Amino acid sequence: MGLNSGETKHSEFPTIIPALGTKFDVGISSFTITTEREQQVNMVSYLNVGSAWGVATGNPKNFNPSDPCGTTIAVQTGTAQEDYAATLSDECVAAGKGKITVMPHELQTDIATKLIGGQYDATLADSTVIGYTSTQSGGKIEQIGETFESAPQGVAIAKDDAQLTEAVQKAMQYLMDNGYLTDILATYGAENAALTTAELNPSVN
Amino acid sequence: MHKKTIFMMLTVASAATALTACADPTTTTSSGSTTAATASSATSYDVSSIPTVDEIAALVPDDVKKRDRRRSATTLISIRHSHR
């Protein structure tokens, strides 16, 4: 975009959108695109992120993502996946199967270590987290099964900043069209999350 | 610490991709201290290899051009994606 520098400030998640157009030009913080957010700000899509299962490479515990009942899985505390795992476990019990033992951890690194060490059957996390964990583990962890419950994420720009919105959208589309977005994400094992169209305020449920 | 590392990788990637051509991204905490984004142990992508596109640069609003710096915001709450 021809600027000589960029500055990224870390702010509490809920404070970012209200500060767009004043304190910040853009917000980039895993913003899932929702109709509510699109009413507040412009959203330019660039990622599609869902949930995914990760196992030790080769799946030595024979974890079946289609039937996780009776297994021990690790999740990060406070994640959507922690709630989802609890729901899955309830469904297992209701179906007369074994419950899922859910082991919450603060750090995904701790989960990775224990997963590789054989303490857990699997981990459940965002698809990008699984990809990055796999990369960081040197291939000792891999995703198993398909990504599910995917949703687009976007860059947020102030609603009244049409010019910057267009610049961001075109810049993002350029990165997509020329393979840069995929290359960048591949550095972090997240290349599968790349979208191919930088859509402004896409229609979402 | 690792939460920061993990999140940083997506943040840096996202920030880099969103507006590119910002060859020297830095991070500033809400308390004001600034550190190089590359202080993270995460592998990073060299965005300086991405060329500036003049027609896109021309779209950047004048106030941002005058500042010559794009200000973006993210959070270190982590990659847990409670951000949904």
pLDDT in tens, A60-86: 999 999 999 999 999 988 888 898 999
Rounded CA gap, A96 and A98, in Å?
Answer: 7
The neighbour count for residue B23, using CB atoms within 10 Å, is 16
Q: What is the pLDDT of residue B70?
A: 63
The neighbour count for residue A20, using CB atoms within 10 Å, is 24
Instruction: Please state the pTM of the whole predicted model.
Output: 0.73
* CB atoms B72 and A28 under 8 Å: yes
- Residues 6+ away with beta carbon under 8 Å from B24: A4, A5, A6
CB A185 within 8 A of CB A191: yes
Q: Can you read off the two tokens belonging to residue B56? A: 């896109």
Q: What is the pLDDT of residue B78?
A: 43
* CB atoms A8 and B10 under 8 Å: no
B41: confidence class by pLDDT, cuts 50, 70, 90: very low
Complex-level ipTM: 0.71
* CB atoms A16 and B74 under 8 Å: yes
Q: Nearest CB to B61: which of A13, A20, A163? A: A163
pLDDT digits (tens, 9 = 90+) for A10-38: 877 788 899 998 889 999 888 889 999 99
Burial bucket for residue A36 (CB in 10 Å: 0-12, 13-18, 19+): exposed
Rounded CA gap, A67 and B21, in Å?
Answer: 46
Q: Is the pLDDT of residue A108 over 70?
A: yes
Q: What is the pLDDT of residue A134?
A: 93
Most A-contacting residue of B75, B76, B77, B78 (CB-CB within 10 A), to test interface:
B75
CA distances from B49 to A12, A47, A85, A132, A180 (A): 31, 21, 42, 23, 10
Q: What is the pLDDT of residue B64?
A: 85
Q: Nearest CB to A29: which of B17, B47, B73? A: B73
Q: What is the pLDDT of residue B75?
A: 61
pLDDT digits (tens, 9 = 90+) for A52-67: 999 999 999 999 999 9
Q: Which of A46, A38, A8, A47 is nearest to A174 (CA)?
A: A46
Q: Is the pLDDT of residue B40 over 50?
A: no
SS3 content of chain B, % helix, strand, coil (to 5): 40, 15, 45
> Chain-wide mean pLDDT for chain B?
55
Rounded CA gap, A46 and A194, in Å?
Answer: 6
Q: What is the pLDDT of residue B79?
A: 44
Q: Is the pLDDT of residue B35 over 70?
A: no
pLDDT digits (tens, 9 = 90+) for A116-160: 999 999 999 989 999 999 999 999 999 999 999 899 999 999 999
Q: Nearest CB to B74: which of A29, A164, A187? A: A29
